[in-house]
A and B are shown apart, each in its own frame.
Chain A
Amino acid sequence: MSTDIFLHQLFAGLTAGAIYASLAVALVMVWRSTHHLNFAQGEMAMFSTYVALALIEAGLGYWSAFAATLGLSFLASVAIERLIVAPVARSQPLATVIVFVALLAIFHSLASWLFTPVLREFPSPFPAGTLPGFPYLSGHAAGVVALTLLELAAVWLFFRFTRLGLAMRAVAQNPVSSRLVGIPAARMLALGWGLAGALGACAGMMIAPIIYLDPNMMAGVLLYGFAATLLGGIANPWGAAAGGLIVGLLDSLVGAWLIGPELKLSFALTLIVAVLLVRPAGLFARAQRSRV
């Protein structure tokens, strides 16, 4: 095991970690604002990425397409929350899980149907090739890491220090009391979804240049993103980032040397579950005590 190869694997793991973390941010956003985990987030992000590609191919510059996609994803997510999720959420919590299954199926299938399921290249706004003097990280990977950290900081600051963030946390925990203090709960839920959709779209557009765009792009990422989120403690974006990093490194290092690709996924998940057994709320979660 030469140092060179090890470093390559290490930074590949770091890059992967950033990928999982970027999706995990969207999951954390949805969770903190609605107390639901939207596991269709990955497929929606993939669909957004296809939309972005279509816009770019239609002639829009990269950043214009990027911004437009964020906006469209925001609006579409708000609409989905208002029209599809909210009416069902009233009945019972497990029904929302099935709604997410349905959304996952719909977006995946629509993407395959509307956009040919062939691997597509997706452009990156960051300089191509590796960083000067540092052959282990490509320009794009460094860009993804930086952008993900930025997103994490923004989400953390948002929930901790802004009036809107506090309102959204309140609505997720106790919608009735939130309305009693004057918070328009329904609008907060929709806003949470909208922001998550935009964050997911951003994640998709960052991931596609690395693993190529196709309808199955997000399937593996989502699972790891989900695991990363829970590993880090679902309410904490930094925890999700750490979780993403750990999962990415596990995937890269363990997969390369210990287990081999067939069992990689199972091993990673089993390890995560083992951690959860010791720390049931995630590694970095604050203990939530409850009274009867």
Chain B
Amino acid sequence: MTPLLEIERLCAGYGAITVLRDVSLSVAAGQVAALLGANGAGKTTLLRAVSGMIPSTGAIRMEQHLLSGLPTEAIAQRGVAHVPEGRGTFAHLSVDENLQLGAWLRRDRAGIARDRERMFQHFPRLKERLRQQAGTLSGGEQQMLAIARALMSRPRLLLLDEPSFGLAPILVDELFVALARIRSEEQVAMLLVEQNAHAALEFSDHAYLLEAGELATHGSAQALRGDARVQRAYLGK
């Protein structure tokens, strides 16, 4: 399978501080890749580098097109949708306006309307709260809104930064059920950063483990479930 997203020897950081060193990974079309690692390992930094939010060296390619060096909005145009850390909802705008913004790059009215309906099927609670200010939604609802917004652009690649963060376990289950449904219906590839290694490995096809900014290991999700290093990263064994 030719990879949809290919990252080669990525180095990125903040100012004088280098966080990622020579990280390489790839995500195939329609596949889910999980990015695991302890706090501070560089997972969020990697997603930010892919989105062009921070400068980086090394190559980031989406189906042979070079993403590195492009501004964030151009990368979004190429079909990358990023649900950032903290959700990034437009807090003072309504749920409806948030969804409209998700589809900002698209001009096909009918298609957008159809996709909105599909979002409501994935996340019925959003339909109830359509006119409500996004900032007043609960954490779980904001997460759903953030994902729905990202999907409204019909992306080919979805970057998810810790979607389960701050959610109660029952909501986390709900979330991953929704993600599974999205995965089968939307045919979108995902790069999933998760603290909740268990849920992430259940859900993904392939997984990468970051340790202190470097790639420690990778393999199929099944293989990594038993990997001692993964267990150490999350359980301190």
Q: Within the complex, are A and B direct neighbours (CB within 8 Å)?
A: yes
Q: Which of A173, A182, A184, A288 contacts B90 (CB 8 A)?
A: A173
Contact (Cβ within 8 A) B104 A167: yes
Rounded to whole angstroms, the CA-CA distance of A171 and B51 in the bound complex is 17
A168 to chain B, nearest CB (A): 11
Q: Which of B72, B91, B93 contacts A180 (CB 8 A)?
A: B72
Interface residues of B in 111-168 (CB under 8 A from A): 133, 135-136, 149, 153
Q: Is A170 an interface residue (CB 8 A)?
A: yes
Interface residues of B in 36-87 (CB under 8 A from A): 51, 53, 71-73, 76-77, 81-82, 84
Q: Is B101 an interface residue (CB 8 A)?
A: yes
Q: Is A56 an interface residue (CB 8 A)?
A: no
Contact (Cβ within 8 A) A174 B51: no
Given contacts A289-B133, A290-B91, A291-B135, contact A181 B84 (CB under 8 A): no
Contact (Cβ within 8 A) B104 A180: no
Contact (Cβ within 8 A) B135 A182: no
Q: Is B97 an interface residue (CB 8 A)?
A: yes
Given contacts A180-B82, A182-B76, contact A163 B104 (CB under 8 A): yes
Interface residues of B in 84-100 (CB under 8 A from A): 84, 88-93, 97, 100
Q: Is B105 an interface residue (CB 8 A)?
A: yes
Contact with B along A145-184 (1 / 0, CB 8 A): 0000000000000000001001101100110111111111
How many residues on B have C-beta within 8 angstroms of the other chain's C-beta atoms? 27
Q: Is B213 an interface residue (CB 8 A)?
A: no
Contact (Cβ within 8 A) A182 B92: no
Contact (Cβ within 8 A) B93 A169: yes
Interface residues of A in 237-292 (CB under 8 A from B): 288-291
Q: Is B13 an interface residue (CB 8 A)?
A: no
Q: Which of B81, B82, B88, B101 has the most CB of A within 10 A?
A: B101
Rounded to whole angstroms, the CA-CA distance of A167 and B76 in the bound complex is 15
B91: which A residues are within 8 A, CB to CB?
173-174, 290
Rounded to whole angstroms, the CA-CA distance of A167 and B149 in the bound complex is 14
B93: which A residues are within 8 A, CB to CB?
166, 169-170, 173
Given contacts A170-B93, A177-B84, A182-B77, contact A289 B136 (CB under 8 A): yes
Q: Which of B76, B88, B104, B133 contacts A174 (CB 8 A)?
A: B88
Q: Is A70 an interface residue (CB 8 A)?
A: no
A176 to chain B, nearest CB (A): 7
Q: Is A28 an interface residue (CB 8 A)?
A: no
Contact (Cβ within 8 A) A181 B135: no
Contact (Cβ within 8 A) A174 B153: no
* Sample (29) of A-B pairs whose CB atoms are under 8 Å apart: A163-B104, A166-B97, A166-B101, A166-B104, A167-B101, A167-B104, A170-B93, A173-B92, A174-B88, A174-B91, A176-B53, A176-B72, A176-B84, A176-B88, A179-B53, A179-B72, A180-B51, A180-B82, A180-B84, A181-B101, A181-B102, A181-B149, A182-B104, A182-B105, A184-B73, A289-B133, A289-B135, A289-B136, A291-B136
